[in-house]
Chain A
């Protein structure tokens, strides 16, 4: 099961695996099977290409029948994604992909449903649908491409842009504080909340692997470079000289240690936040151990607060991965229970229910 998996095996045992009802194929699949004949129309150099290739090369390992996979998207650069996936696909309207995907996932347990969205699509116009999908725990895998800018409308600031950002619509700098997608998702009762980076295929695929096996909604934020309107937004996390020094790679069950020489660690303060300490300065027992499966979200939330615009230290990986029944399972159970206890509905009996009278 998943290498980051905190509870993947458990799903298979209790029959609630998110993919347990999705038909499998014995045929060998490759990346090529998931490519369409459509010309990819992102700007040359866009981070979306790397994500597309990572997804296409990851899906064969799930071994699902291609026709039982569906990609649903909203509007924006990232939302063109379904056109390039040789699965079923629905390119919908701005912000609404989680709502549309909810209808699909809750009526079709035999499908693996993926949502592709961006920071504007998911967090601005579609913010409401995102938080409600998270709290319901619908069986959706949401890939949120975060480039901290509006690309398709040509360069306005987004709800994840840093304060003071100079853009076409904010010549004197943007005024609004950004969302932290991890904090938002954890606050919205998300059961699987993770972050990865477009340029790190191995890490990206490891997160996708865990997301695919998660029961319910998985939110995966993917830091994605827009080389036209916000180039280099995540450079510190990619720059070989500094990235290891500032990237905190979260591994469930492992002490949270980072730095080029693994010389830094996180310690929980009495107030509940995290502070960065030198490994040599503290007793090993003081170093926090990452527990993504902790039902209490406060540690995951505290981790999400380590972000800063200056990228002094940025956690990536699975912040939170807890087990809770998915909405579609529960909805299905109610229907099954109604049929089981009352018998399959009979239309004539329904129409004739209540007070009736006969005229001869």
Chain B
């Protein structure tokens, strides 16, 4: 039967099911197909901290949201146009986000009395009129999958498990996705289990064929490829981009990368990724705890490697003393904090930006540390390189603040030309330098020499005790301590002259309100700003990558606007820094729900501030 084809400019799909239903995999495959098709896209995986919460319960719901379009987009989308709900729990947990008129694909096989009761449905919502405001497609996905796989020599359980591939096939048909990538993926994934491989492929194809033949779907959608700059692209998550950035830092500095890490959500994937790239001379050390992880990284830096440690907020708390030691010994060290909701264990799989003040001040004594934050998943690559550049050039620990949203979210990335990437100069002190002193500083950067063991004639001792300016001998002299505290601060402050000035996006030059963000909120803020401008109003936007030190022109930028809105996924940490530093009463907008901002929400915030003028 011929179906009507409708053109759309963008779609937001959310796959939701039980933790064991393979929703992350389904979403990831749909994303790869979409990337290959050439749409712009942005993703938001959302999963529980428990590996397998009790089946069919609300805490066990895992979802994957994907926003794709024929134009440049910035966020995973506010509200889904399509929700695929594999069970009653997935329906209940996600229905609240679904706008009226949205498509709802429900796997009716799972809507048994028992499963309904588990999540508190007295009646089956698919059968009464409680879903009347949606376009409901009630489909027995599980039994259709089992029927389609009747001829395969696999267990019923294995057949049922392929239902996510049936759903993926159906959605792939619905949105005209290319299928070669997924077929190739299944062949590779199940290469050792040929029967399971064939069954999954058959389920995927059955889903596609069902879409073509059923009357349940009368319309097929088409979203044209987006206009992108010419180049080679791939889809990439923040954690993989970050790991690649570290590999690149090793290649561009000639320094071996030494990662000391202890597994923690949502940072572990960086350890996993780097451990696969030993052929770059990278050493990865899974330590006994967070403290040993950063200790080993610092020890490696002392020996002339680029020491890196990756963690999340609770790990930073444990590493604080060693980061302080890196400040005192003035050794390069890259500290990656993939922020998650806190305090304490908090919400391990949910995002937050509440470690900014910990990164800035979470150490004893005056212990300044440069802090930088990437703005998007692919930007994690450049941010990691920048963190390494500053760490090596200034002989200092650098904290990079990623977050759970950036870490797991993905977007298309135009691959850089590796020859254009910055070169990092280790500039080690050389043997028998007659003027060598371990704390004699470079007059321009104020960095001390990096004299590594094995260098003849430069034997010296470093440590956490205060050192005399120049000689590096232990010193309890009051004036020397005052000098050293100020020198360490001046060194970090001076980095402001070595980073890009803050760029302001103010197309008309007439805006009176500036929205200033940092880190992973870039996409949502930019989308909100676009919406405001679409209404014919003027608003300026700027986004901080360097949080310590701030770019040299920040004060000037802030003072150029009547009002400055600072949206943050915390209770106002950047706002506090800006007020304290510049005496400017910025307007904070703060949400801490473990989720990224929505563009519509921020649009409202910006317009409210403008209207209150």
Hey, which bits of chain A sit against chain B, CB under 8 A? 23, 36, 38, 65-70, 72-73, 75, 82-83, 85-93, 96, 98-108, 110-111, 128-129, 132, 331, 334-335, 337-339, 342-345, 347-348, 350-352, 354-360
Contact = CB atoms under 8 A, between A and B. Distances in A.
Nearest to A111: B453
A81 to B, nearest CB: 10
B280 interface: yes
A89 B462 contact: yes
Contacts of B36: 355, 357
A70 B453 contact: yes
11 contacts: A89-B462, A90-B299, A101-B299, A106-B296, A108-B303, A129-B295, A334-B278, A356-B234, A357-B38, A358-B233, A359-B231
A51 B462 CA distance: 21
B292 A88 contact: no
Given A86-B459, A111-B454, A132-B292, A99 B232 contact: no
Interface stretch (B2-10, B244-252, B500-508): B244-252
A102 B285 contact: yes
Given A91-B464, A132-B288, A345-B281, 20 more contacts: A36-B461, A68-B454, A82-B463, A83-B461, A87-B459, A88-B459, A89-B462, A91-B461, A91-B465, A92-B463, A99-B295, A99-B296, A102-B296, A107-B299, A110-B454, A111-B453, A132-B292, A339-B278, A339-B279, A356-B415
Given A91-B464, A111-B453, A350-B247, A72 B299 contact: yes
Majority SS at the chain B contact face: mixed
Contacts of A344: 279-281
A335 B278 contact: yes
B457 interface: yes
Interface of B: 32, 35-36, 38, 181, 228-235, 244, 247-248, 251, 256, 258, 260, 277-283, 285, 287-289, 291-293, 295-305, 307, 321-322, 325, 329, 415-416, 418, 453-465, 473-474
B38 A103 contact: no
A199 B295 CA distance: 33
A28 B32 CA distance: 66
A100 B302 contact: yes
Nearest to A356: B234
A65 B247 contact: no
Contacts of A350: 244, 247, 277, 280
A129 B290 CA distance: 11
A111 B299 CA distance: 12
B297 A342 contact: no
B415 to A, nearest CB: 5
B459 A66 contact: yes
A348 B418 contact: yes
B474 A107 contact: no
A351 B279 CA distance: 14
B232 A358 contact: yes
A100 B461 contact: no
Nearest to A336: B278
Contacts of B229: 359
Nearest to B228: A359
A65 B279 CA distance: 30
B239 to A, nearest CB: 14
Contacts of B460: 88-89
Of residues A82, A83, A107, which shows the largest number of chain B Cβ atoms within 10 Å of its Cβ? A107
Contacts of B296: 99-100, 102-103, 106
A73 B461 CA distance: 11
Nearest to A85: B461
Contacts of A73: 463
B50 to A, nearest CB: 27
Given A331-B283, A359-B230, A103 B303 contact: yes
Nearest to A136: B288
In the A-B complex, the 5 residue pairs with the smallest Cβ-Cβ separation, listed nearest first, are A91-B463, A103-B299, A99-B295, A103-B296, A89-B461
Nearest to A71: B461
Contacts of A339: 278-279, 281
A282 to B, nearest CB: 45
Contact of A67 (B295, B322, B457, B462): B457
B22 to A, nearest CB: 19
A93 B279 contact: no
A352 B321 contact: no
A67 B300 contact: no
A61 B343 CA distance: 54
Given A88-B459, A100-B296, A103-B298, A351 B418 contact: yes
A106 B283 contact: yes
A110 to B, nearest CB: 6
A358 B38 CA distance: 9
A334 B418 CA distance: 26
Of residues B36, B247, B280, B463, which shows the largest number of chain A Cβ atoms within 10 Å of its Cβ? B463
A359 B260 contact: no
Nearest to B252: A347
Of residues A110, A331, A338, which shows the largest number of chain B Cβ atoms within 10 Å of its Cβ? A338
A149 B458 CA distance: 36
Contacts of B280: 344-345, 347, 350
Given A90-B299, A96-B295, A100-B295, A356 B233 contact: yes
Contacts of B256: 107
A360 B292 CA distance: 48
Contacts of B453: 67-70, 88, 104, 108, 111
B281 A99 contact: no
A340 to B, nearest CB: 9
Given A104-B299, A108-B303, A108-B453, A92 B464 contact: yes
Given A67-B454, A111-B303, A335-B281, A103 B260 contact: yes
Contacts of A357: 35-36, 38, 232-234
A103 B307 contact: yes
A89 B233 CA distance: 47
Contacts of B281: 335, 339, 344-345
Contacts of A101: 299
A91 B303 CA distance: 14
Contacts of B293: 99
A96 B292 contact: yes
Nearest to A66: B459
B456 A92 contact: no
Given A92-B463, A104-B300, A355 B32 contact: yes
A359 B233 contact: yes
Contacts of A66: 456, 459
Given A93-B464, A358-B233, A107 B283 contact: yes
A87 B460 CA distance: 7
Contact of A90 (B231, B233, B258, B302): B302
A360 B230 CA distance: 5
Contact of B322 (A93, A102, A359): A93
Nearest to A359: B228
Contact of B461 (A88, A128, A132, A355): A88
Contacts of A67: 453-459
A101 B303 CA distance: 10
